[in-house]
Structure 1
Amino acid sequence: MDSRAPSNASSSSRAFFTRERAGVSLLFLMNGFMIGAWAPKIPEFASRLSLSESSLGLMILTFGLGSLLLMPLAGSQIARFGSSQVSKYTSVLLTPTLLLLTWVGSIWSGAVAIFLFGGLIGAMDVAMNANAVSVEKSMRRAIMSSCHAFWSLGGLIGSSTGGFLIEHIGVSAHAILVTVLAAVMIVAAWPTVLHDAPHPDEAKHGGSRLPLSPLPWLIGIMALFCMIPEGAILDWGALYLRNELAASVTLSGFAFAAFSLTMAAMRFAGDLIRDRFGAVMTLRVCAVISIFGLLLIGFAQNAPMAIAGFALTGIGISNIVPIAFSAAGNLPGMAAGVGLSVVTTMGYSGILVAPSAIGFIAEHTGLAAIFAGLSALIIVVLVLSPLARHADTAHH
């Protein structure tokens, strides 16, 4: 197309919601729900296997290793078989893993179960993001942010109901109920997931080569640098409010709650904003908001001021990752799965690896300096923002 006007006109006349969009949204919901349901099970898992805090830390690291090892593998399989096949089969393999985690009786079987759980969560993550890119191309409109919002919603449902259900119906009954609900979501999604063909160039090579182009690696840095603050808020936000700003236990819980709430709300709005203003402008505004949010947290004089900072950071970070994932899936001459596996692996390593490093640094500097300092990472994202233009190629 030689001008943007017809492009916008055609995209606004297209269906806003299709079967394929519903299918991939259900996959995101199910993946988030499984992770959310796992969080309240962790204390029982640790006591059943008699794990110390450091042993539990190693178990959680095993979850992360599973993700980081299976994500690139999923990328190569998507290049060979298409994202719909890999999404479906990884979701089926993922479904019984929560039962495994509930019924293992030794540290070694627990380590194998948590490795599989983390690995299949990660592999499915790459595949469903690649499928969302395919749906964006077929619909010629942005859907990635709302897909990530459904993931957040799944996590919220899984984590908020988990403790209550474990207390009232027991550990095994909770795991069985979660497994059944996850299976129902897969059955509902199965016929509607958009079937995409494998990438012709990559199918020949099996998609096993690491991309030589710097583009996915640079977009991966964008994802990494805004997921490090996300991991920091998840793991250290409540502690910062409690220890450095003298907040009550109840109030300190609002750090991640404020961040999650604004992030989920903005993700449901993010696609419309991106279609209206373009990916580059949306990403730049989001980056500036998150820089202000992180500085507000770092320089906060009291807990309410910091909580406002967490809420602002949620607004800012909300749409950076979905835009980075869309851009990675639309890189010229590259299979969506290959670009995405690089970016998701780099991005999620920020959530998995950074929090422990932050703990080490915080012993010497305090958490206020850490949160203020994390704004420097978002400045790098702002510098790399022109790369977000690749996210818009799905619309032309």
Structure 2
Amino acid sequence: MTEATILVRRSRYAVAAVFCVHGAVTGSFATRVPWIQDHAGVSTGQLGLALAFPAIGAALAMPLAARITHRFGTRTALRGLLALWTLSLILPSFAPGLLTLCAALFVYGATSGMADVAMNALGIEVEHRLKKSIMSGLHGLWSAGALIGSAIGTVAAHANLSAQTHHVAAAIALTVIGAVMCQFVLNIHPEDDEEPPARFALPPRSALLIGAVGFCAVFAEGASLDWSAVYLRDILDSSAGVAAGATTGFALTMAIARISGDAVVDRFGAVRTVRWSGVIATLGGLLVVFAPHAAVAMAGFGLIGIGIAVAVPLAFAAAARSGPNASQAIAGVATITYASGLVAPSIIGGIAQASNLTVSFIVVTALAAGLAMFARVLATSPRTAADGVLPR
């Protein structure tokens, strides 16, 4: 085994750990949304407005990630961006009102988006050098991190621990772990004559249809992560601990489906996998909408998690193959998918304010069905056999 092969394999595990850390921040935040809502004293509609700000921040900041990576190299850029993201977890729980909550969530989303682009671009580079599919597995580790974060959040909610104490401790621990893991990722610097990417770039035309798959998946994912606990509490009158458990169950099914996703995609192809995934997610949405009690709703959120699991990593992988600069292409598709996160909280909260969250999740179910409708576009960026996956 050559030294280069050893470095690439070591980087694979380090990037996987980075994905896990990134997911743990999201899981830690999602389970404490009801606490943050009560602390800030905002209504359901106002919470929906505030939850749009992470996507706004991400959409505006993500195009900068390619420029930062070009300037500092992959290792330094990822280390810095990941640290900013983990530390931003502290901000929302200290917000005393709507305006400060929106500002905190803007920073939270901006740092999340930039770290997201950097780690996905690096993961795709490792995948290319290994000559086999690993992106679904990496996103599976993200879901595993979200599961760990949400599980700890569930315990904290049961113990009536404030989100402030919980998030400060989690942010410090995750910052340290992330910094250590970034020491072992590939350190790629641009060639001296390589032009830096534009500070801001519109998504390439090829990214628009690919982004539609990510748009549908991220809408369902964001709605489930941010609103599942609120749904069980407000619609099904569940306790805080049981409500937080819905988020944990959702993260668990996503983690399992993504970790096993590479083998499934290798066997059935990207198009067929995403098409059937859309069917599963739609069935899950219907269970949530018609759930008579918490157990059925939790099962529905679990099916949504299974159904949307592989769509985003496959969309990012297709995006990286659609343009000459992987970071820019990923940023383009990620901007589209995060736009879904931008509209999802507002739509969910706005409809809930006008009617209730049950009606809101009819919209989630319809977008989940969109996965099956748009799956075919992943065949527009076929992999070679050496890449490990054939869209079909």
**Could you state the TM-score of these two structures normalised by the residue count of structure 1?**
0.78
2:113 paired residue number: 122
2:343 equivalent to 1:353? yes
**CA distance in structure 2 between the aligned counterparts of 1:119 and 1:273, rounded to whole angstroms:** 33
1:339 paired residue number: 329
1:181 aligns with one of 145, 148, 173 = 173
2:57 equivalent to 1:66? yes
Q: Is the 8 A contact 1:32 1:151 kept in 2?
A: yes
Greater mean alpha carbon deviation, residues 125-134 or residues 376-385 = 376-385
1:387 paired residue number: 380
**CA distance in structure 2 between the aligned counterparts of 1:184 and 1:315, rounded to whole angstroms:** 31
2:51 aligns to what SS in structure 1? helix
| Deviation for aligned residue 1:74 | 1.3
Residue 177 of structure 2 aligns with an amino acid whose one-letter code is: M
**CA distance in structure 1 between the aligned counterparts of 2:293 and 2:90, rounded to whole angstroms:** 43
For residues 337-371 of structure 1, what are the alpha-carbon distances to aligned partners after superposition, in whole Å with 9 as ceiling and x for unaligned? 11111111211222332232245456569357435
User: Cα distance 1:372–1:95, how it changes in 2: closer, same or farther (>3 A)?
Assistant: closer
Q: Is the 8 A contact 2:223 2:348 kept in 1?
A: yes
1:272 aligns with one of 263, 267, 291 = 263
User: Cα distance 1:284–1:163, how it changes in 2: closer, same or farther (>3 A)?
Assistant: closer
2:371 equivalent to 1:378? yes
The correspondence of residues 137-156 of structure 1 with structure 2, limited to 5 A, is 137-156=128-147
Greater mean alpha carbon deviation, residues 115-124 or residues 225-234 = 225-234
**CA distance in structure 1 between the aligned counterparts of 2:42 and 2:286, rounded to whole angstroms:** 37
User: Cα distance 1:108–1:162, how it changes in 2: closer, same or farther (>3 A)?
Assistant: same
Q: Is the 8 A contact 2:49 2:345 kept in 1?
A: no
**CA distance in structure 1 between the aligned counterparts of 2:34 and 2:230, rounded to whole angstroms:** 18
1:210 aligns to what SS in structure 2? coil
User: Cα distance 1:49–1:229, how it changes in 2: closer, same or farther (>3 A)?
Assistant: closer
**CA distance in structure 2 between the aligned counterparts of 1:232 and 1:98, rounded to whole angstroms:** 19
2:251 paired residue number: 260
1:9 paired residue number: none
Q: Is the 8 A contact 1:153 1:264 kept in 2?
A: yes
**Identity fraction in percent:** 33
**CA distance in structure 1 between the aligned counterparts of 2:168 and 2:10, rounded to whole angstroms:** 28
User: Cα distance 1:206–1:232, how it changes in 2: closer, same or farther (>3 A)?
Assistant: closer
**CA distance in structure 1 between the aligned counterparts of 2:362 and 2:12, rounded to whole angstroms:** 42
Residue 146 of structure 2 aligns with an amino acid whose one-letter code is: G
2:127 aligns with one of 136, 156, 178 = 136
Q: Is the 8 A contact 2:31 2:229 kept in 1?
A: no
Q: Is the 8 A contact 2:51 2:102 kept in 1?
A: no
The correspondence of residues 208-357 of structure 1 with structure 2, limited to 5 A, is 208=199, 210=201, 213-235=204-226, 256-294=247-285, 307-331=298-322, 333-357=323-347
2:113 aligns to what SS in structure 1? helix
Greater mean alpha carbon deviation, residues 84-93 or residues 255-264 = 255-264
Greater mean alpha carbon deviation, residues 91-100 or residues 299-308 = 299-308
**CA distance in structure 1 between the aligned counterparts of 2:229 and 2:165, rounded to whole angstroms:** 31
Aligned residues: 379
2:189 equivalent to 1:194? no
Q: Is the 8 A contact 2:222 2:341 kept in 1?
A: yes
For residues 148-185 of structure 1, what are the alpha-carbon distances to aligned partners after superposition, in whole Å with 9 as ceiling and x for unaligned? 12222222222322464585876665444323321331
Q: Is the 8 A contact 2:67 2:196 kept in 1?
A: no
**CA distance in structure 1 between the aligned counterparts of 2:38 and 2:243, rounded to whole angstroms:** 25
**CA distance in structure 2 between the aligned counterparts of 1:308 and 1:373, rounded to whole angstroms:** 18
2:141 aligns to what SS in structure 1? helix
User: Cα distance 1:168–1:336, how it changes in 2: closer, same or farther (>3 A)?
Assistant: same
Residue 178 of structure 2 aligns with an amino acid whose one-letter code is: I
Higher Cα radius of gyration? 1
1:187 aligns to what SS in structure 2? helix
Greater mean alpha carbon deviation, residues 39-48 or residues 137-146 = 39-48
2:80 paired residue number: 89
**CA distance in structure 2 between the aligned counterparts of 1:338 and 1:77, rounded to whole angstroms:** 11
Q: Is the 8 A contact 1:199 1:335 kept in 2?
A: no
Q: Is the 8 A contact 1:232 1:354 kept in 2?
A: yes
Residue 232 of structure 1 aligns with an amino acid whose one-letter code is: A
Q: Is the 8 A contact 2:275 2:373 kept in 1?
A: no
User: Cα distance 1:107–1:367, how it changes in 2: closer, same or farther (>3 A)?
Assistant: closer
For residues 106-131 of structure 1, what are the alpha-carbon distances to aligned partners after superposition, in whole Å with 9 as ceiling and x for unaligned? 87766554432221111101111111
2:359 aligns with one of 366, 372, 375 = 366
Q: Is the 8 A contact 1:267 1:318 kept in 2?
A: yes
Gaps of 5+ in 1: 1-13
2:151 paired residue number: 160
Gaps of 5+ in 2: none
**What is the alpha-carbon root mean square deviation over aligned residues?**
3.9
**CA distance in structure 2 between the aligned counterparts of 1:106 and 1:359, rounded to whole angstroms:** 17
Q: Is the 8 A contact 2:278 2:308 kept in 1?
A: yes
User: Cα distance 1:392–1:26, how it changes in 2: closer, same or farther (>3 A)?
Assistant: farther
Residue 280 of structure 1 aligns with an amino acid whose one-letter code is: V
Q: Is the 8 A contact 2:63 2:200 kept in 1?
A: no
